[in-house]
Chains A and B, each alone.
Chain A
């Protein structure tokens, strides 16, 4: 065979293409495609703030404090579910976790001083981190989808809350309230806490290898595995991070309401609000896309809706219904848009 000097039998060659390099996008185009949605939400928020400001005679510290302190826990909760959704999972238990941490901390903080309250706050947040990490661990180890695990646990947590508190009750130190959500007309503490949560937790995390792994796991598990990402461990860490935000939201709720309220329906309502904020904030429900600033801005947009409707003189019951419809439309349209984007 090897003696025949015939030229190598020709395999039909691939089309002789001179492959052209893709046209590089400009920085502006990249900014548009990546942050365009964020800019739109920010603009919407500014418009709504001005609208709200024009509705009331004085738009001062008190009014701003109502918005910042009232939205703080929803914004934190949006981040809590956002990090899990980015990894392609779904944490059904964020709302219940907030209810539980709220009741747990209000139970311990009743009639305590500021220092004790701060220690209890840290303890409560740690408890939330540990419980959430356990939920993630159960899902990873058992292979049961996290939505099922967290759904089951979301029924358990308010039950435990009711068990320890025995009904609405608990309390906290007034100094603690002032420190976390500010006094009657001081909007700054809650705003600063939110900025700190983003700047000290989310920004460093999202720039670390773990942050990239969060997106990688949500975007393509196979590619993440090939790149050396420990998919299971990343998912558990994502749950721990989610627990951190849940714990913060729970403690903030305690400070804002100065009591604990062990009702499961509160958790469910918070969950729907948080999902709506995440979707409106540009996080893809199938994972891998989005950030945390968008959901936080969207949380403010969502909590401004009832205030503005009230200012328009809409009946509060009607306003609640309209808000519910808006939430559903946001989630459906957001989900539909993302489906189209992922197909294109």
Chain B
């Protein structure tokens, strides 16, 4: 690879690491952004991109490694300090305080309103009135104002984190013009995006992260989307497939969950069904509407169009309790959300059970205990910390959330990223459990952010992109095929 002719290094990271508790988000990443570069940072979900950006912008502190800006060590206590050192960042969620006017927001960061207005005029948005309350301005324009505010500080390094993800085309083009201007002025841009076409068209360099390591740096135009996808996956892509266990062929039965033309939040025009005895996987990049799909199915969020049917009967859930009483239950990714953290395990399990077996009057403690002991044994939950649910390990907590529904009984199980942050041994137990549940005639819809899981557990894989289903893959699909579908690099992939 020939060294491209660009300017001096501006931001340089060596061996940067960061852990959140037991989870190692960044193991050791190296990255160098030079002047005159639009540098893309790429990686699959959980590769460590956002953690890295948080370190560079001062949202979280660095654990190990070195970070330098223009040769000086860089250590920020909060994102604001970056402004003084020539780093300005714009995030997907605009950092404008909703209840203040734009002018007051500028005052908060010490930005000059005249310069912000001048930057907006350069982008052709001079008509925006800065005296408006931020919350009265549509979100895409808030992002542009946020960008203008960042530019008003004349940053040497401009960090754009998923800013184009929810921008309409014409506004995104304005962002690219800003990037080009930065490059022309011999400054730099660090650009994070899931849209590979944007990276190839507008970035002069890219660095790929995988599992908390830097795996490659190259000129995106030279490799194209194929090379980027291959780097994100790495050579181990096929190794993981050896874990594929023999699985009994399933014979799907009755349709338990049927979704027709469903729309809710970001999700729209969803059509799929889940039948008894099958596990349907759902994969997507971050922020493609998966949250809305699960919130709507579980009854937490209303549908704006379409219908959900359970065993042929239409479900009009106003409340999670409605979906539960019709036999569809959710295991959320945030386990503590579902459990009673300070209460004994027994109580965490029996909470939904109580709602089901008895509405009034006392419970039969013997009966309750018998049911609970049954599921605890079946899931081999380590109950040594039985005093409080929160003391359990993540894996045992997740088993607990499944256990409670086993005790209560259900037809359709919704799993949202059930193995996030769980060790590999417990993961396998959960995979087996999910397969077992399906084999015993339950229907399971499982969203996963780990592609390996999509190979291991589901009978078929649905791909969600920009709020709607774009492909159906077989469980034998390679990770490359899945990523291509998730990124919309579709070349006639079909189930």
Contact = CB atoms under 8 A, between A and B. Distances in A.
Q: Is the interface of A mostly helix, strand, loop or mixed?
A: loop
A24 interface: yes
Contact of A24 (B91, B129, B169): B129
A11 B168 contact: no
Interface in B73-106: 78-81, 83, 91, 93-100, 104-105
B141 A18 contact: no
Contacts of B226: 1
A21 interface: yes
Which of A13, A22, A227 has the largest count of B CB atoms less than 10 A from its CB? Answer: A227
A19 B105 contact: no
Which of B107, B225, B226 has the largest count of A CB atoms less than 10 A from its CB? Answer: B107
B138 A22 contact: yes
Interface in A130-165: none
Contacts of A9: 197, 224-225, 489, 491
A37 B95 CA distance: 28
A17 interface: yes
A313 interface: no
B169 A13 contact: yes
A14 B224 contact: no
Contact of A228 (B78, B94, B169): B78
Given A226-B79, A226-B95, A25 B132 contact: yes
Contacts of B137: 22
A13 B471 CA distance: 17
Contacts of A2: 222-224, 227
B487 interface: yes
Contact of B99 (A11, A16, A17, A289): A289
Contacts of A30: 131-132
Interface string A263-295: 000000000000000000000000011000000
A19 B171 contact: yes
Interface in A211-267: 212-213, 215-216, 218-220, 222-230
A211 to B, nearest CB: 9
Contacts of A57: none
A317 interface: no
Given A18-B170, A223-B96, A227-B109, A11 B487 contact: yes
B489 A228 contact: no
B116 to A, nearest CB: 13
B196 interface: yes
Interface in B156-214: 167-172, 195-197, 200-201
Contacts of A12: 466, 488
A340 B222 CA distance: 53
A21 B125 contact: yes
Contacts of B100: 212, 215-216, 219
B436 interface: no
A229 B108 contact: yes
A225 B128 contact: no
B136 interface: yes
Q: Interface size class for chain B?
A: 35 or more
A21 B141 contact: yes
Contact of B201 (A8, A227, A289): A8
Contacts of B98: 219-220, 223, 288
A25 B129 contact: yes
Given A227-B97, A228-B81, A288-B98, A213 B169 contact: no
A9 B484 CA distance: 10
A212 B108 contact: yes
A209 interface: yes
Contacts of A14: 167-169, 172, 466
Given A11-B195, A11-B489, A17-B169, A215 B99 contact: yes
Which of B100, B125, B222, B227 has the largest count of A CB atoms less than 10 A from its CB? Answer: B100
A24 B171 contact: no
B32 to A, nearest CB: 22
B110 interface: yes
A293 B100 CA distance: 18
A288 B196 CA distance: 39
A54 B303 CA distance: 57
A21 B128 contact: yes
B227 A1 contact: yes
Nearest to A20: B138
Interface in A7-53: 8-19, 21-22, 24-25, 30, 34
Given A11-B487, A17-B170, A30-B132, A227 B80 contact: yes
Contact of A224 (B93, B97, B171, B227): B97
Nearest to A206: B104
A122 B232 CA distance: 66
B224 A226 contact: no
A14 B110 CA distance: 35
B127 interface: yes
A198 B353 CA distance: 57
B169 A16 contact: yes
B15 interface: no
Contacts of B113: none
B108 A220 contact: no
Contacts of B59: 225-226
B170 A228 contact: no
Contacts of A13: 169
A8 B83 CA distance: 36
A212 B127 CA distance: 24
B344 interface: no
Contact of B197 (A8, A21, A224): A8
Contacts of A1: 223-224, 226-227
B9 interface: no
Interface string B121-141: 000010111011100111011
A225 B59 CA distance: 9
A8 B224 contact: yes
Contact of A19 (B78, B110, B170, B200): B170
A276 B331 CA distance: 42
B197 A219 contact: no
A11 B487 CA distance: 8
Nearest to A34: B133
Which of A11, A25, A226 has the largest count of B CB atoms less than 10 A from its CB? Answer: A226
18 contacts: A9-B225, A11-B195, A11-B489, A14-B172, A14-B466, A19-B140, A21-B128, A30-B132, A209-B107, A216-B97, A216-B108, A219-B97, A223-B95, A223-B96, A226-B80, A228-B80, A230-B78, A288-B98
The 4 closest A-B pairs by CB, nearest first: A228-B80, A226-B95, A219-B99, A288-B99
Given A14-B168, A22-B132, 8 more contacts: A1-B224, A1-B226, A2-B223, A8-B225, A14-B169, A19-B171, A219-B99, A288-B98
